[in-house]
Amino acid sequence: MLSRRERYGIDVVKPAKQGAEERVHNWNEVYQPYVPELAIQEAQRCLLCEHAPCQQACPVHNDIPAAFFLLGQGDIVGAAEKFLETSSMPDVCGRICPQEKLCEGACIVGAHKPPVTIGKLEAFVADYARHNYGYPKVERQPQTGMSVAIVGAGPAGLGAAEELALRGHDVTVFEVWPVPGGLLLYGIPNFKLDKEIVFAKIQYLEDLGVKFVCNYHVGKDHPVEDFLKRGFHLIFLSYGAIKGGEMKIEGEHLRHVYQATEYLVRGNLPPELLPDY
């Protein structure tokens, strides 16, 4: 096992990026995945701090030192499973979470050198495990006979659906958009988060038994109370912050002035995912 002095002496290994001359012709992810050898080398830069400030700065308190100890030993799947203990979507969080302000911002190595590239390594191990072995097979608890209606198929709704389905509840997710995914699908561009990651998660949830009902506008066309009348025992509202903030300046509501959310939706998706939009 490497000493801390030896770990601190390892130079940072950042993932490759598409060259500017290439990425002007596509909307694919800018950062390219690590190859295993370089990911292992970068993970060995982690000092395995006992007080783990990176873990304290993480909103879900991922056990980052434990994951990088496993990755540094070459156990890529073990590292992915360690992240999955506290995060249902490490492949997503590794891409879009503001690591520079959170875990990487708290990294001790970052005091004098570039911090460990925590986010990119988190995404790498999750992608590697999914591509090579699929999502980890977690045994569902016995059916409880309880049914749950979840309103909104964004990150909160998908995370709740997984947790509840694994606990044996019957879960149905109701979504206003034509395809489930919420912000992950309709708000984040491909160059930041490849949509295939979202589609793979949806397929995994369907394999768990989660049902999705799309083009279903709760509140406008269907009152929330209807779920109770239909026999659902619990309703989880996760419809997100769908209304953009207003600047309250002159001209904000003129034609051809768009809020960021609407702009992203229009420019982010093919027409078949936006009927009548």
Residues 117-157: tens digit of each pLDDT: 999 999 999 999 999 999 877 889 999 999 999 999 999 99
Same domain (yes/no): 187, 248: yes
Domain hosting residue 229, numbered range: 147-273
Is residue 30 predicted with pLDDT exceeding 80? Answer: yes
The reply to whether 138 falls in a domain is: no
CA distance 95 to 125: 12
Inside any domain, residue 142: no
Instruction: Report DSSP letters for the chain, one per residue.
Output: ---HHHHHTSPP-PPPB--HHHHTT--S-SBPPPPHHHHHHHHTT----SS-HHHHHSTT---HHHHHHHHHTT-HHHHHHHHHTT-S-HHHHHHHS-TTTTHHHH-GGGGTSPPP-HHHHHHHHHHHHHHHH-S---PPPPP-S-EEEEE--SHHHHHHHHHHHHTT-EEEEE-SSSSS-THHHHTS-TTTS-HHHHHHHHHHHHHHT-EEE-S--BTTTB-THHHHHTT-SEEEE-----SPP----TTTTSTT---HHHHHHHHHS-GGGSTT-
Do 86 and 192 sit in the same domain of this protein?
no
- 108 in the same domain as 194: no
Do 102 and 174 share a structural domain?
A: no
So what's the pLDDT on residue 277?
59
Q: Please tell me the predicted confidence (pLDDT) of residue 263.
A: 81
Query: Domain holding 208: CATH number?
Result: 3.50.50.60
Residues 6+ apart with CB under 8 A from 155: 89, 92, 182, 183, 184
Residues 166 and 94 in one domain: no
- Does residue 139 lie in a domain region? no
The answer on 127 and 33 residing in a single domain is yes
Residues 266, 180 share a domain: yes
Residues 36 and 105 occupy one common structural domain: yes
Alpha-carbon gap, residue 192 to 31, rounded angstroms: 8
In a domain, 262, yes or no: yes
Are 238 and 174 part of one and the same domain?
yes
Domain final position from 133, 161, 178: 133
What is the average pLDDT across 63-85?
Answer: 97
pLDDT digits (tens, 9 = 90+) for 54-72: 999 999 999 999 999 999 9
Find the CATH number of the domain harbouring 67: 1.10.1060.10
Interval 264-274 mean pLDDT: 72
Most confidently modeled range among 24-33, 61-70, 216-225: 61-70
Domain assignment of residue 170, yes or no: yes
Residue 237 belongs to some domain of the structure? yes
Residues 119, 181 share a domain? no
Say if residue 269's pLDDT is above 80: no
Q: Which of 7-21, 113-127, 227-241, 248-262 has the lowest mean pLDDT?
A: 248-262
Q: Which of 133, 163, 195 is the last residue of a domain?
A: 133
What pLDDT, on a 0 to 100 scale, did the predictor assign at position 168?
97
- Confidence at residue 139, expressed as pLDDT on a 0 to 100 scale: 85
* pLDDT at res. 175: 95
Query: Does 33 or 136 have the greater pLDDT score?
Result: 33
Say if 124 falls within a structural domain. Answer: yes
Residue 141 lies in a domain: no
Domain count, the chain: 2
Q: Which of 21-25, 93-97, 203-207, 256-260 has the lowest mean pLDDT?
A: 256-260
Q: Is the pLDDT of residue 24 over 70?
A: yes
Reported pTM:
0.90
pLDDT bin (cut points 50, 70, 90) of residue 264 is confident
> Domain end: 133, 163, 187, which one?
133
Query: Are 44 and 98 members of one domain?
Result: yes
- In the predicted structure, residue 27 carries a pLDDT above the cut 80: yes
Statement to judge: residues 55 and 163 lie in one domain: no
pLDDT of residue 273: 64
